[in-house]
Structure 1
Amino acid sequence: MALAKLGVVVLDCPDPRALAEFYAGVLGGDIEEDDGWVDLRVPGGHSLAFQAAPGHVPPKWPALDGSQQFHLDLTVEDMDAAEKEVLALGAKVLDAEDRKRTWRVYADPAGHPFCLCAC
């Protein structure tokens, strides 16, 4: 049994709308924007999301010293239970102090950030 379902892949970028338009051109789909957050609803039920990242630096590929370019949002039914399990699997807490939020941020064992998000 899986612990979580993939919610949406989020790409940090300097201009969320422009990047969403690029991917809409590549993948098709409909763009939805809400207060700076941009979603691309791709045919087949998949989505990509785009958020502004001031100071965004494009990746150098391959590179050993790159910054976060995207993170995964993983939807879960029980945030506390999922948190316990991801920590047991080796995740590290990055930002989970505000227990009233509908999301919490962790790093996987290699340091890549991901969010657990309430369904």
Structure 2
Amino acid sequence: MTEYQPGVCNIGQGERRKRYAFGVAGFVLAAAAFGTVYVLALPAVWTLTAIVPLFAGFEGVLQGVRGFCAGFAAKGIYDVSDGGNARREVGDDAARRADRRTAVRIHVQSLVGAVVTGAALYLFALLVPVAS
């Protein structure tokens, strides 16, 4: 079992598995959105719709890798159990602040990853026509 560390680790293996699954689902949805737009030769600007599921993908994977849930930080809770069924409240104000700072970093990194990847997909769709 992992130990709770403010701003560093607030989820254990059970919750990490959930974050990875959420991240993979986000990336799969992004690929489906991009593929649909690209294969149907829709206007390239529609590839930017993939940014939303890309954000979810990056968010989930980053949280899984880091062992840190931004949503838990916002709620002031943690669950470092292996089963993901032992949520506890963060009692210390300094720990809550550290958790929130880390959550903001994860959100920003996920947004940057989604926007950069979405822009790359947009450029690809713009510059590489669908083979007929």
TM-score if structure 1 supplies the norm length? 0.23
Per chain length, whose mean CA-contact separation is higher, i.e. which structure has more relative contact order (CA < 8 Å, sep 6+)? 2
TM-score of the superposition, structure 2-length normalised?
0.22
Larger Rg: 2
As a proportion of its length, which structure holds more strand?
A: 1
